[in-house]
Chains A and B, each alone.
Chain A
């Protein structure tokens, strides 16, 4: 049986540049896993539609930006446990990525980014020959 889920408080980004939007910016929680052929990143970005996700790969620096698509909360707020905000996170990639084959998709507010490795970065099996 899985543990009961607790609320993970959203972490605000320590701003390096100032945002032009008066809205908090959060660091999305991510899972990153690597297989032989690709690196996959899953990022929780509730409230962000796919067309408002911006992915930028500049040499080995990967930047994910998500703009929340949220109209004001309707009516008078009685109780509030979270705040809507944008998402921003940067990663340094170690292996070479085949840029042409990067795939991004979203499902239920989770971004899935598949970064296929370039041929040169794939593991090569080395046969040891005994003499």
Chain B
């Protein structure tokens, strides 16, 4: 395959061009997954750690795959609706060894997420088990859906 090089090429200075491309890419992904029968598309932001965010009537759940990270190297904070997960994945120290394979990555990370609704920051629970972080963020009373009973005559 031929490789073309454009030494003087620059990204066109159009506001929002990158965002438009990103949107188009996501739409293509969604279209392709519909053809291949994938029910849920995995659209990654590329920033570690990978997350699954879900919600029900009174809670928001956030799950993250963080294998190899100790709980004390992890920092979770919520300011308003912004949830930030940051930390560092440290390499295992081994001396006088020869490496045959090094596929596991390490480094520091920081990921911010805007929650779809307000949460009760005081009541957030976090649990780390087998390299999976699980956060349960309860919604405050006023945003929970309320069932209104209609009185018939």
Contacts and interface: CB of A to CB of B under 8 A. Distances in A.
Interface string A20-48: 00000000011111111000101011111
B42 interface: yes
Nearest to B49: A7
B118 interface: no
A42 B89 CA distance: 14
B116 interface: yes
Interface residues of B, number: 50
Interface residues of A, number: 42
Nearest to A2: B107
The B interface is mostly helix, strand or loop, or mixed, namely loop
Interface string B96-113: 111111111111111000
A5 interface: yes
A19 to B, nearest CB: 17
A119 interface: no
The A interface is mostly helix, strand or loop, or mixed, namely loop
A47 B97 contact: no
A78 B50 contact: no
B68 A108 contact: yes
Contacts of B109: 4-5
A80 B98 CA distance: 37
7 closest A-B pairs by beta carbon, nearest first, are A109-B131, A109-B67, A75-B56, A46-B131, A5-B48, A82-B50, A81-B50
Interface of B: 40-56, 59, 61, 63, 65-70, 88-89, 92, 94, 96-110, 116, 128, 130-132
